[in-house]
Structure 1
Amino acid sequence: MKTYDAIVIGAGPGGYPCAIRLAQLKQKTLCIEKESPGGVCLNWGCIPSKALIGAAHLYHKAKDADSMGIRVGSVEVDPEKLQDWKEGIVKRLTGGVRGLLKGNGADLMMGSARITGPRQVEVTQADGTVETIEATKGIVIATGSNTIELPSFKFDGKQIIGAKEAVSLREIPKRLLVIGGGIIGLELGMVYQSFGSELTVVEALPDLLTGIDPECTKIVERRLLKRGATIHKNAKASGYERLADGSISVKIDQDGKQITANVDVVLVAIGMRPNSRELGLEQVGVKVDQRGFVPADKFCRTNVPSIYAVGDVSGVPMLAHKATKEGEIAAEVIAGHKAEKDWVAIPSAVFTDPEIATVGLSEAEAKEKGIEILVGKFPFSALGKAMAMNETEGFVKIIADKTTKQVLGVHMVGPEVSAMISEAALALEMAAFLEDVSLTVHPHPTLGEAFMEAAAHAMGSAIHILNR
């Protein structure tokens, strides 16, 4: 039987950083992956979707360039070449993961893992070979999550698809219906809308992007409608039938009425489910909750002390950067170092058009906690850099404790806010006050000035907009 200090199951954004950090800390480490290094994020999630989003944004900017005095002629998208370019990025990054594991001294084994004891893992490789491996210090579950399938919309890989297929379409759908008005559905839906698809969104709840600051989501919804989308809220797609011309007629129940939408492709984007099945967790006593998550404490330990869980499989928020941080924490704990989940807040970015980025408390959450707040807000329409980019929709909003002026949350919608939110996350981690942000000199002209001005606005001292 092979023996390692630690075994990491999964080579996604939680697993491979965990394995790398373990190896850096001189732990003999094995990382097991059943599909492809990089997990969902690198192979068909974060990275490929952002490649398509970047291309869609460039395409849309080129079509609108005439308003800036730039004539580019006919702008067309070649979906075959686009997919080849995207797949090249994925190949480079997944190859990079292999190289990083090897370069740091961690072993990578391809196969399906099953935990057979508190310190034992059984691996079934592609050729059917089964091997049992021992971990003397710990096993880390980093198996991530997968798309949820609707019983009435079983994936066929062509016309009824999930996110995995949606990032690999080699033909732009003429008419696309997205079931689910959440992050995945709107990010990918807006990509194909930019490329010319007629977009229909069906959302079961009263609002799109539920859980995100409603002022931010309204900006995105307005952009969707401006570009011709049809949005059905408080609605459910109940089924479909295939028509003689090869298209699909989707039945939608909304407010007690049934309507139909004839489309060419249906993207089911109703969320992700943790990959905790078939790991043998119940047999070794690891607790799994009703939703399939594997609860872990601040040290990433499950209820079985030698078994750890990180990333999507361990609970929300299901974000790649949260998984990476947890993977590093688990590695340090296993290696005997002092580490724990002690962050103030996890930032989040939504790559719709325009982007949304948030960190910390919302206005509603602060009020629920009984905190009196100050709110500062600065619109991109008043910012020179945003005007120069011809992207003026959106704003930066900062929320602070009214008494202490400590920053509690920041919510942004607009150009490149996914890059800007890191400064706000640092402000929360450093327990910054409104004065700290407003007195920090930001270079001009930049988008980041909006954060400084929003903080000043909360205190009634903004320069470039009127104060309340």
Structure 2
Amino acid sequence: MPKIVVIGAGPGGYETAIRAAQLGAEVVLIEKGRAGGTCLNIGCIPTKTLWKTAELFEQVKESTSFGIKLENPSVDMAAVKARKDYVADRMNTGVNFLVDSYPNIEYIEGYASFKDENTIIVDKGEEKVEVAGDYFIIATGSAPLVPSFEGSRLENVITSTELLDLDYLPEKLVVVGTGVIGMEFASIYNSFGTDVTVIGSDILGACESEITKRIQSIFKQKGMKIEKGYRASKIEKSANGLTVFAENKKGKVVEAEGDLVLLAIGRIPFTEGLNLEGIGIETNRGGVVVDKDLKTSKDNIFAIGDCISGNVQLAHVASNQGLNLVERLMGNTPHIVEDVVPAATFTLPEIAQVGKTEDQLKEEGIEYDKSKFLFSGNGKAVSMGETDGFVKILASKDHKKILGVHIFGPHANDIVHLGAVAMANDLPVSALNKTIFAHPTLSETFMEASHGLEGASIHTAKVAKK
């Protein structure tokens, strides 16, 4: 059996190592920090822990409409941070337990650097060890991108890593960046009661445009200030903290003041110290260049996840790239469909999508049918008091393929997987409509939208013909 060396124990790395071990390989897993990587320790999981607190706080503030009387609820950020740390620690312990349960996985803590294409040197602090292998998989993830404009490194100008470690609630927060990371934190802190200003070129630009328009309206109703179409150019200290200056394409400048400024303009591949260029591995702006099979310029060295140049930066993409990769390395046929990738955005309300947007289909000249069902027509959503949003399904004209699913509303990030399963298995609309959905559930919104494609949605009012 081959010896597979995995560098990085984030979701991509540790899941890849475990699957390789299940298939009988001898595995070495190397990690410089805590098992679980960015996602588990300073990314996805801690952020969603804060998101749950924000969701609960919003429900508490609206509790009188449910017949519950509470006076002056408030957020204790020290306690919020403590819970966030507990969740991350518990998950970290779980990953360590999983890895330790496989006798054919050797776990090494330290910094990895390639000596040559067949050997890695791991710096453990007090000693250095050499690790040889048949195959190497680079899974080192990404790091926050810090821009080079003036003031970007001032005190209280922070990235998501530092924001997740706050034990107090800032009075004013300026978020530079309107992608998923920026908008999730903006939504969370807005719900906590912080005065939030968001600056960026476009709001959640990868999402369905109908959703982004609606959510901007909801954010503004909640008091969030949105400076759309602007690019931050500098940050200065001011009497009240920090001032961010931003400019649009016409040269107009806006200013935003905050106690803290969150830089959330993206993430870059992290390959520092690996000595990739030294052994002849091609890189592009720090990211590893790979072919369609995730192979680098060396036949026995591969890369997965965020560290790949131009790769989709999602934890589940990294994990499934790794799972398919080790299947190939062990002589099996990969079975995961890698081009059907659901995306989850944990704003309040939630946003989820899989497949093409309407704008993309129009740009590509693809004809399609669509159906939309509102959460306001769903009994479970009404009982929950969460009626904002909808489920939209885009299908081919013959209804034999689902082209895209876009959801905005309660539990959107769970419901979207109905669409992902259909797309990954090439299920036609008729196959979806054979399924009985339990009542009352939020998933019935997906059922109604699917039935709507065939003119059979029971809870959609008939539109009179003109």
> TM-score scaled by structure 2?
0.95
CA offset at residue 340 of structure 1?
A: 6.5
Distance 1:277 1:370 in 2: 42
- CA deviations on 1:41-90 (whole Å, 9 max, x unpaired) are 00110000000000000001100111222212221111111111110111
Q: Which residue pairs with 1:310 in the alignment?
A: 304
Whether the 8 Å CA contact 1:457–1:467 is kept in 2: the answer is: no
Which residue of the other structure, out of 178, 186, 190, is the alignment partner of 1:189? 186
Q: Which residue pairs with 2:167 in the alignment?
A: 170
Whether the 8 Å CA contact 2:393–2:402 is kept in 1: the answer is: yes
Distance 2:358 2:227 in 1: 27
Task: Count residues in correspondence.
Answer: 459
Q: Which residue pairs with 1:108 in the alignment?
A: 107
Pair 1:294 & 2:291 matched: no
Distance 2:217 2:329 in 1: 48
Which residue of the other structure, out of 270, 273, 277, is the alignment partner of 1:278? 273
Which residue of the other structure, out of 403, 408, 422, is the alignment partner of 2:403? 408
Check 1:354–1:300 CA distance in 2 against 1; reply closer, same or farther (3 A cut): same
Pair 1:435 & 2:433 matched: no
Whether the 8 Å CA contact 2:152–2:234 is kept in 1: the answer is: no
Whether the 8 Å CA contact 2:152–2:235 is kept in 1: the answer is: no
Q: Which residue pairs with 1:124 in the alignment?
A: 123
Whether the 8 Å CA contact 2:11–2:315 is kept in 1: the answer is: yes
Which residue of the other structure, out of 22, 45, 53, is the alignment partner of 1:55? 53
Q: Which residue pairs with 1:363 in the alignment?
A: 358
Letter in 2 for 1:331: V
Check 1:440–1:179 CA distance in 2 against 1; reply closer, same or farther (3 A cut): same
Whether the 8 Å CA contact 1:377–1:397 is kept in 2: the answer is: yes
Distance 2:199 2:274 in 1: 34
| SS of residue matched to 1:212 | coil
CA offset at residue 459 of structure 1?
A: 2.2
Whether the 8 Å CA contact 1:347–1:425 is kept in 2: the answer is: yes
Whether the 8 Å CA contact 1:155–1:162 is kept in 2: the answer is: no
Q: Which residue pairs with 1:14 in the alignment?
A: 12
Q: Which residue pairs with 2:247 in the alignment?
A: 253
Q: Which residue pairs with 1:139 in the alignment?
A: 136
| SS of residue matched to 2:165 | coil
Letter in 2 for 1:80: A
Which moves more between the two structures, 298-307 or 353-362? 298-307
- 1:212-291 pair list within 5 angstroms: 212-245=207-240, 247-254=241-248, 255-289=250-284, 291=285
CA offset at residue 298 of structure 1?
A: 4.2
- 1:372-383 pair list within 5 angstroms: 372-383=367-378
Check 1:32–1:4 CA distance in 2 against 1; reply closer, same or farther (3 A cut): farther
Pair 1:34 & 2:29 matched: no
Distance 2:180 2:424 in 1: 25
Whether the 8 Å CA contact 2:320–2:338 is kept in 1: the answer is: no
CA offset at residue 466 of structure 1?
A: 2.5
- CA deviations on 1:139-186 (whole Å, 9 max, x unpaired) are 000000010001234345x61110101111111110000000110001
Distance 1:261 1:364 in 2: 32
- CA deviations on 1:344-368 (whole Å, 9 max, x unpaired) are 4111110011111101121222233
Distance 1:164 1:4 in 2: 37
Distance 1:263 1:368 in 2: 39
Q: Which residue pairs with 2:332 in the alignment?
A: 337
Check 1:467–1:426 CA distance in 2 against 1; reply closer, same or farther (3 A cut): farther
Whether the 8 Å CA contact 2:353–2:404 is kept in 1: the answer is: yes
Check 1:250–1:371 CA distance in 2 against 1; reply closer, same or farther (3 A cut): closer
Whether the 8 Å CA contact 1:79–1:171 is kept in 2: the answer is: yes
Q: Which residue pairs with 1:351 in the alignment?
A: 346
CA offset at residue 455 of structure 1?
A: 1.3
Whether the 8 Å CA contact 2:317–2:341 is kept in 1: the answer is: yes
CA offset at residue 404 of structure 1?
A: 4.2
Letter in 1 for 2:443: G
Distance 1:239 1:404 in 2: 50
| SS of residue matched to 1:14 | helix
CA offset at residue 285 of structure 1?
A: 2.1
CA offset at residue 230 of structure 1?
A: 1.0
Which residue of the other structure, out of 147, 152, 173, is the alignment partner of 1:150? 147
State, as a whole percentage, how many aligned pairs show the same letter: 36
- CA deviations on 1:92-129 (whole Å, 9 max, x unpaired) are 111111111111121111111111222111111223x2
- 1:448-463 pair list within 5 angstroms: 448-463=443-458
Which moves more between the two structures, 179-188 or 71-80? 71-80
Letter in 1 for 2:191: S
